[in-house]
Amino acid sequence: MFECFSIQAPSAALDDALQHKIDNKTKPLGALGTLETLAYQLGRIQGTLHIDVSKPKMIVFAADHGVVAQGVSLFPQEVTPQMVMNFLHGGAAVSVFCAQHNVPLQVVDVGVNATLEDHPLLRKRKVALGSNDFSQEPAMTTQVLSQAIQAGVSEVDTAINDGVNLLMFGEMGIGNTCVSSCMMSALMGIDPLESAGRGTGLDASGVSRKAQVIAASLQRAEAHTGQSVAQWNAQTLAEQVGGFEVLALAGAMLQSAQRKTAFVVDGFICSVALLFAQKVAPNVSEYAIFAHQSNEKAHKLLLAHLNADPILSLDLRLGEGSGAILSYPLIQSAAVFLNTMASFESAGVSDGDNI
């Protein structure tokens, strides 16, 4: 199912020219810090010395999770469809920030456990009414997994075919921090006590409960598959402990990279989706821009594992793409400085070599 993803690293053909253009702006070397890194990365991805991020799009994938029955979330499952409607009616954080920055918002129902009313901003790609409780049985079948991945692929194809040149991703699903922590433990081989965090606001006993559920779920899955977690391939991992919106995110990231389009990774859950995508095709991370380091405990560990240098650190732990959209003005600034800031030569300013 993952054989269709063959992702090449961005071409190095313009590396020297990009670095020369950045270094010869009217500033000391490296003085614009992360903006220089962003400009260089975007130039490599787009294969140009004049980058364009003027047509962005935010895509939020939503789904429910059977493991919520184990008491791993502070909020009940009915909050998922309620929040989806809040997105659609413009009341959520990601909605107001997208409106602030004039970024189109698309919400995709991959597996919400409710029938949602039609809305211009809603795409219906439901594969099931939530995943199975993976503490008791596999989270999904092979067929449903394939459909979840394809939901992400199709959304990206639609966006890029419409001229989008920067993708931003978010998610919504009560219980998805538990799902993501479980996937992280499986992917990185770490103890659930390291991957489980507060999510929507659990106290210490709630976090401990979440870690216990993750540990028991992984043990159940190892017994079911007859393999240790370390032996699982991407398909087995997803079927056993995945979440529909996390896998749709992974499919979207893989397709973005395959089509040589930069994408912005939001917080913990989106970073886990990238970690999974990286297991499928390691070069996918070359196309990822990391928006922020969240307040979720394991996110710092995960970012270090991904060798990521996020743009922001604002103690966010909301999800839904909120950090990704907040980083967009700085991504725009990276493009503006590369494209329009004067060089030493054009401004008639002496550079360090001539002093």
For residue 320, indicate whether it is catalytic.
Answer: yes
Please answer whether residues 60 and 87 qualify as being in contact, where contact means their C-beta atoms are separated by less than 8 angstroms. Answer: yes
The token pair that represents 19 in the structure block: 């670095």
**Alpha-carbon dihedral sign for residues 268, 270, 274, 277:** positive
- Distance separating alpha carbons of residues 139 and 267, to the nearest angstrom: 23
Strand order in the sheet with 122-124: 122-124, 105-111, 56-63, 166-172, 263-265, 288-290
Please answer whether residues 206 and 178 qualify as being in contact, where contact means their C-beta atoms are separated by less than 8 angstroms. Answer: no
- Distance separating alpha carbons of residues 217 and 224, to the nearest angstrom: 10
Q: What are phi and psi of 345, to 5 degrees?
A: -65, -45
Please tell me which residue in 171, 296, 320, 345 is annotated as part of the active site.
320
Nearest CA to 70 among 195, 170, 202? Answer: 202
**Alpha-carbon dihedral sign for residues 110, 115, 118, 119:** negative
Please answer whether residues 30 and 337 qualify as being in contact, where contact means their C-beta atoms are separated by less than 8 angstroms. Answer: no
**Residues labelled catalytic:** 320
